[in-house]
Chain A
């Protein structure tokens, strides 16, 4: 559990670094902190310990999820260099909040006690509310933060209510305790357990933006500064699914028959709502918001058909999804900043439409390739990591015999190809843009690394095998 301690200390340290005149040190310092946290994360490898009076547990799975979260955060932070040039930005605070939010995410990954889950969710969420509204003078950013905060706190409230009911039913806050109570459904379980489980699920499904709890997502993702959208759509999602998996597999495996239909319906709804709505978007950023909803749907397949392969499927999928999403947002950041003549409308609002990508691949082949690979991966085309992610997910569904869910998912991935390819078409086959975009070194490293990782995992998906 060293990462939690270290990240908290580092976060406070960063706040003090903010007093220094030079902002240039903040970015490398944050990256260094993340690397240290990632390294110490693996100290407990192959061991399983309980920490803080049985509140948290480390095991290989939790460490792998933590690693994915820290890796995503590292890549996002590396893309954030333009804060340093922005007069109105407060990078020290941003980076500190990012580190604090990671503490919450890691708690969600390794909780042993529902209280810890709640604390983790709250730390992560509140950090996100702040970061969403961090563009203080931008109306859309303010609106997004307000919406996110109101709806998010409502969802957390429901979640807390659910935990209370679970305690009422089982007399325990630990997931193992609840699990041993729920393991024998034939003796007749308290109704409170079912109600409590549902409310807890609603709270968590809200956080991962599953339909019908997804209505906040497009506005929040669209309004938040792009860099934080990238952070939200990867770290929060990974942590949320790690928490859901832990909860459902440890505590509620016994009452699978009760919740799987509900979850399967939510999965189908999420897939349909996310994919179909994404088709109608003109803004790339909004499309990515709906795409993140649809990917929540694919990840939910694994939970709705919980089985021996679910663990691997969720780990692989969230890794593939996170890398591809960060690369896509990285390219979007560059395009939105530097193609200002195309991206600013007459009212002075920056649009992130598909049109602003026109002709990009000809002027910046690197950006073109990075974006194409990430879109192919998100669309689940073979030879990319995303394909194997989908493959593992589909396998879990077949293993449980949920063919109809699979058919919905397959049809929706065909729909997905439509909107992901709009970017590729704009970049390669349409004309536009005059000057090549300047790509700062950090951006280049992140994009190249993301592309290599996506293709590498696509060609040799076995690399991750046997890790957990």
Chain B
């Protein structure tokens, strides 16, 4: 039942915000999101670390077709539910010093988005997953295209068509899988993901199913060469929308890899997994190199995100327990870091009206708070030990390395390159002599600090004691690995 609240409470809250339209819309949205965080927190606290699916509910939705409205939280979902619950209130808080036209619509769309994301991460029925997967796109598209930058219309449109195009392949795959499940005259086919796991699929079918799913998720993440929508969309979107995109939405892709591709088409992964890792590693190196050359802060962070997510995909496809665990923790960590980084860019932009690195510099002199927070978020991003990025990236690299030494080595560049572009970003913007734009730079306001504080706490918590989170996911991951390693391959 808790899952039901997680999904529907934001819908109700958003609709109320739309209908009531008072003076204090921001505050109302923040409170609404904090309540959702409390629900997610309750789920986290009472979550039993085993491989089962908890807090679930299950209703017949389209009875004659056997499609059910069924959702629940298991070890693979829990961290993403936490991430979605955690980030949205702070993304809303980060907008407190900005004013957006039509604020009621703006915040309502963010909450609708949150509901859809919760649905994606908890759905236990294939079609329900698909439904939320697509539904998440509508609010974010409107957020980006209504409040975005100058070039927003063509850029966001490309993003929209590109991602829908990808997910249509997934729809085909889901419909196909659905018709493979057994049916009798009285009991229809089933779309439950658990039933998809039990299917006996031919190797040929697994190969094309692999690609149908992979394209959908690869576009979402994005993995090279499906990434061309990403940098422009991140740059043109308003920062809160970028945070939602980079912080949470791209995790839908990684989550999909773990939930669908690995267990349903193990032979497809056997045949094509190496290709997928190579594409991901190309993305890691390519994204990093481009990031080094960027002048625009937001674009630089966009490419760094592209590079990081490549490592997550590679880790998942390494099919090792460490790789998988790393991907789950890194999803949480990356969400926190990237939201922090985009917020830094937003703070700087709001004061200087530029994101170009060559027009910035010398900000440290007047901004002790910003400098400290920026540095911590940055160290998390470059995976310094004792920060959250380290745990995830170390596990991921270990996973990739076990599966293939050379690819592991190539993927390791992410840490070196990451340090290069991130430190360059810091140096160009914060150090050096002040420019005309940064002379009168004011330090963080208290509401801005309050965005950073919880993020920083999380950076260190995950970095110093990752076991809190690893323990939650481990049983589910072990279970999944065991399933893939033995049952699935022999059965299919």
Chain A residues with CB under 8 Å of chain B are: 376, 381-383, 387, 391, 394-395, 398-399, 403, 406-407, 410-411, 413-414, 417-418, 421, 425, 428-430, 460-462, 465-466
Contacts and interface: CB of A to CB of B under 8 A. Distances in A.
B441 interface: no
B131 A382 contact: yes
Interface stretch (B44-52, B165-173, B333-341, B470-478): B165-173
Given A428-B142, A429-B146, A414 B153 contact: no
Given A381-B134, A382-B135, A429-B146, A414 B62 contact: no
Contact of B64 (A410, A417, A466): A466
Given A421-B157, A428-B142, A429-B146, A398 B168 contact: no
B62 A461 contact: yes
B142 to A, nearest CB: 7
Interface string B51-72: 0000000001111110000000
Contacts of A460: 61
Nearest to B179: A398
B16 interface: no
A399 B179 contact: yes
Contacts, number: 73
B79 to A, nearest CB: 25
A460 B63 CA distance: 11
28 contacts: A376-B138, A382-B130, A382-B135, A383-B131, A387-B131, A391-B175, A394-B172, A398-B175, A398-B176, A398-B178, A406-B172, A407-B172, A410-B168, A410-B169, A410-B171, A414-B161, A414-B164, A414-B168, A417-B160, A417-B164, A425-B145, A428-B142, A428-B145, A428-B146, A429-B146, A429-B152, A461-B62, A462-B61
Given A428-B145, A429-B146, A394 B171 contact: yes
A425 B159 CA distance: 14
Contacts of A381: 134, 138, 164
A399 B176 CA distance: 8
B168 A413 contact: yes
Contacts of A413: 168
A430 B60 CA distance: 42
Contacts of B146: 428-429
A461 to B, nearest CB: 6
A414 B162 CA distance: 9
A394 to B, nearest CB: 5
B270 to A, nearest CB: 23
A405 to B, nearest CB: 11
A294 to B, nearest CB: 15
Contacts of A406: 172, 175
A298 to B, nearest CB: 13
Across the A-B interface, the 7 shortest Cβ-Cβ residue pairs: A414-B165, A382-B134, A382-B131, A462-B62, A410-B168, A398-B175, A398-B179
Contacts of A428: 142, 145-146
A466 B171 CA distance: 25
B219 to A, nearest CB: 12
A465 B63 contact: yes
Contacts of B138: 376, 381
